[in-house]
Structure 1
Amino acid sequence: MAKQLDYHLMRAIFTRFQAAEPEPKGELHHTNAYTLLVAVALSAQATDIGVNKATMPLFATVDTPQKMLDLGLDGLTDAIKSIGLFRTKAKNVFRMAQILVDDYAGIVPSSRAALQSLPGVGRKTANVVLNMWFHMPAQAVDTHIFRIGNRTGICPGRDVDAVERAIEDHIPSEFQHHAHHWLILHGRYVCIARKPKCGICLIRDLCPYEDKTI
């Protein structure tokens, strides 16, 4: 685990991320808060590309909890059968739709506790929705962020909760909103797991990682 970077290095790193991509976007297809919630729930142990392939035709007609109930569990299961763990995910999404209709008038709540009470929604999923839709500085830590946080010292921690706290505690406040997107995209396309692409990394000279590639 790398040592936590100091404030000045953190500011320099995120200034570069911001300059390169002022408004980073998530890669999951969605049309509103509900479809975002469903897409993120379906993305567990699956790729965004694979989820989008299934959800783009689904969300063209099913974009509210009531429409999901009208589709039925069998219809939903068939629509997402290309996604890993699709049977379990279909049951969770269908139960989620019922709860949203019964308890929230079909509206996605903006509370982390309320979101996490829904079937198939953990803290990471809740944080993505809070960040992307409700514009809260919530930090969704995935495998990419966990890896580069510890590799670079941007947000080191022994588990995802510790990494989340490191982001909140050490990244300057003006970068908090987009922090997790910059880190996810950097980890997905540049600071990859087996052989990071250090040669094209925009923070190469600021990163203390010792085993840089050429």
Structure 2
Amino acid sequence: MNSKIRLKILSLFYINQSNPKIELVFSSDFELMISLILSAQSTDVAVNKATSVLFKIANTPKDILRLGIDRLKSYIKSIGLYNMKALYIIKTSFLLINKYNNKIPKTRKDLESLPGIGRKTANIILNVLFNQNTIAVDTHVFRVSNRTGFAKGKNVKIVEKKLKRVVPSIFKKYINFWFVNHGRYICKARNKICHLCLIKNFCEFV
């Protein structure tokens, strides 16, 4: 796919959704981090349902530690891998208090040093909270990038590297959310809805 086609695709997404938002519901930096830890191999809908109750009880690192791991598990047990995620949240809360003065770190290195925070999650945090032009590549972004021909790669790191190279700076902050929504609702892994596709005239899927 050439740069002109990519620009047309990005322009269509921008016209259709000029200010895309993450679908996780949060009201603080810490709430976003916890929601992202919980969202691994789970849906935003499931996470939002659990956190709508949890955050009324505990939505700061201190509150989480006071809650304790067993009670924390009781609030998130509807989410996959909740035992491991509860441990990540407890450990991360402890580190935020004792190493980062209750603040979310602003560097990739520090973010990825926290339990439960990988490269994709760090990219989302840097993008959403700190307005950096990072591009998170999850399964939806990976699928849409490869299927459409926008940025092909055998793994997420290759796709991320290509996206960073071919996406103009003005669109880098948004492309993750555009591709996530497109992959979630239109360009689905199964039963894709091509006749409703915004970019069907430019897609290289055969």
Instruction: Bin the TM-score by the shorter chain.
Output: over 0.9
Residue 161 of structure 2: which of 150, 157, 165 is its match?
Answer: 165
Matched, 1:140 2:125: no
In the alignment, which residue of structure 1 is the partner of 2:112?
116
Residues 99 and 118, structure 1, Cα contact 8 Å, conserved in 2: yes
TM-score normalized with structure 2 length: 0.97
Question: Which residue among 81, 89, 95 is the counterpart of 1:93?
Answer: 89
Native 8 Å contact 1:10 1:172 kept in 2: no
1:48-63 equivalences in 2 (<5 Å):
48-63=44-59
**Contact kept? 1:31, 1:63, Cα under 8 Å:** no
TM-aligned CA deviation for residue 124 of structure 1: 0.7
Q: CA deviation at 1:106?
A: 0.7
- Are 1:8 and 2:8 an aligned pair? no
Contact 1:62 1:68 in 2 (8 A): yes
Alignment of 1:100-111 (within 5 A): 100-111=96-107
Aligned equivalent of 1:75? 71
- CA-to-aligned-CA distance 1:85-136 (integer Å, 9 cap, x gap): 1111101100100000000011111111101000111101111111111111
Q: Look up the match of 2:195.
A: 199
Tell me which moved more, 110-119 or 51-60: 51-60
Residue 60 of structure 1, CA deviation: 2.2
1:61 Cα shift? 3.3
Aligned residues: 206
* Cα distance between partner residues in 2 of 1:162 and 1:23: 26
- Aligned equivalent of 2:123: 127
Structure 1 gap segments, 5+ residues each: none
**Contact 1:110 1:134 (C-alpha < 8 Å) held by counterparts:** yes
- The SS at the match of 1:158 is coil
Question: What amino acid maps onto 1:57 in structure 2?
Answer: V
Q: SS where residue 108 of structure 1 aligns?
A: coil
How far 1:55 sits from its partner (Å)? 0.6
Output one character per residue of 1:131-164: Cα deviation in whole Å (capped at 9) or x when no partner: 1111111111111111111111112111000010
Secondary structure at 2:99 match in 1: helix
Which has the higher mean CA deviation after the structures are superposed, 118-127 or 63-72?
63-72
CA deviations over 1:13-38 (Å, ceiling 9, x no partner): 00000000011111111111111011
Instruction: Tell me whether 1:35 sits opposite 2:44 in the alignment.
Output: no
2:174 is matched with 178
Task: Tell me what 1:208 maps to.
Answer: 204
For the 8 Å contact 1:116–1:123, the answer to whether it is kept is yes
Choose 135-144 or 60-69, whichever is displaced more. 60-69
Deviations 1:30-84 (A, max 9, x none): 1111110110111111111111110111112322111111111112111101111
TM-score w.r.t. length of structure 1: 0.94
Whole-Å Cα distance in 2 between the matches of residues 194 and 21 of structure 1?
Answer: 24
Q: Which has the higher relative contact order, 1 or 2, with Cα contacts under 8 A spaced 6 or more apart?
A: 1
User: For the aligned residues, what is the CA RMSD?
Assistant: 0.9
The alignment-based identity, stated in percent, is: 41
> 1:30 is paired with a residue of what secondary structure?
coil
